[in-house]
Amino acid sequence: MANAKYLLPYNPPYDWGWMTAFLGARALAGIEQFDDQGPEGFSYKRTLAIKEEDVSVSGWLSWRPRESLHAVELEVSLSLVPHIETVKRRVRNLLDLDADPQAIAQALGPLAEEAAGLRLPGCIDSFELAVRAILGQLVSVKMAATFCTRLARLCGETIDTPYEALTHLFPTPARVAALEVDALRALGVQAKRAACLINLAKSIENGELPLYGITDARQGMKQLLAMPGIGGWTASYIAMRAWGERDLFLHSDYLIKQRFPNMTPGTINRYAEIWKPWRSYATLLIWNSPNWKPE
């Protein structure tokens, strides 16, 4: 098996149980594979395509926690080695390896007392995450993953890997932009959502939305919100996970509203200001604290 290995360090603590459960529940068949063999044996594998300066390459990567080293062991196919810095950056974004858990916990106070190692799940590919967010609107996590898997089988390129379960690349914006609404409706996707997805892909292809070059998440959200079919929750979710925005509070989220009974979204948003500049982490912590109540 031709590959290359690297170590990506991080600052402990790290809640690997939570992160792997989160990512595992959203795994796409044919593109991602999780093997759960304990803290040191757990591994994640996936296919990946990278386009940089008109050069496109594809291959596979695998990572697993090395908790005793406070690092992640990364393996990549030799085809991806010329782009290893991009691969490393994307894996670090996916796993939020650059976070300072002590600083975050100190700022969030009691909210983070029992979850100092919780990280913000990012993504490997910004377009893939945006597609997941749009197809995940008003459906379960499992159904969203099912839609994305169907999309990959419809228009994702096939790929040979050493792993039997990894057979497809996630579709590129160009491939999705070439689809008709009816093709997505045949997968079970609602017509308006299908049109939104195709419009997003076309905007990326023609350069109107530089999804891979967003450095100002707030500006990127404005661009997303200007597109038909993309609301505040979806734009915020993309900003949090695709662009690593760490100070967004999803005040209109269904679970968040449940944790703040009898409070308007505006009041919830004002309450959340106590958690600046780490409100994205506060969102995650409240999601995962069913018994939490505002003081």
What phi, psi does 228 have (nearest 5°)? Answer: -60, 135
Give yes or no: residues 20 and 40 share one domain.
yes
**CATH (domain of 35):** 3.30.310.20
Torsion of CA 70, 65, 212, 220, to 10 degrees: -70
Let me know if residue 31 belongs to a domain. yes
Residue 227 and residue 260 in one domain: no
φ/ψ of 56, rounded to 5, equals: -115, 130
Domain total for the chain?
A: 3
Query: Where a domain ends, among 64, 83, 102?
Result: 83
DSSP SS3 for 258: helix
Q: For tokens 């009691």, name the residue.
A: 110
Nearest residue to 9 via CA among 63, 59, 48, 81: 63
- Domain-ending residue, one of 50, 83, 116: 83
Q: Could you tell me if residue 88 is inside a domain?
A: no
Q: Are both 7 and 29 inside the same structural domain?
A: yes
Q: Are residues 199 and 163 in the same domain?
A: yes
Residues 189 and 237 in one domain: yes
Whether residue 210 sits in one domain with residue 130: yes
Domain identity same for 293 and 187: no
**Rounded Cα distance, 96 and 176, in Å:** 28
Q: Which domain holds residue 281?
A: 247-295
Rg of the chain taking only CA atoms, in angstroms: 19
The catalytic residues are 253
3-state SS class at 43: strand
For residue 97, tell me if it sits in a domain. no
What pLDDT, on the 0 to 100 scale, is given for residue 40? 53
Indicate which CATH number applies to the domain containing 146: 1.10.340.30
Distance CA 246, CA 256 (A): 17
Q: Six-digit token pair at 69?
A: 């080293």
**pLDDT tens by residue, the chain, 295 residues:** 568 999 999 999 999 989 999 999 999 999 999 887 654 567 899 999 998 878 899 999 999 999 999 999 999 999 999 999 999 999 999 999 999 999 999 999 999 987 889 999 999 999 999 999 999 988 999 999 999 999 999 999 999 999 999 999 999 999 999 999 999 999 999 999 999 999 999 999 999 998 888 889 999 999 999 999 999 999 999 999 999 999 999 988 888 999 999 898 889 999 999 999 999 999 999 988 888 888 8
- Please check whether residues 232 and 143 belong to one and the same domain: yes
DSSP for 207-243 reads TSS-GGG---HHHHHHHHHTSTT--HHHHHHHHHHHS
Backbone angles phi and psi of 200, in degrees to 5: -60, -45
**Hunting for tokens 């795994």 — which residue is that?**
27
CA distance 74 to 240: 24
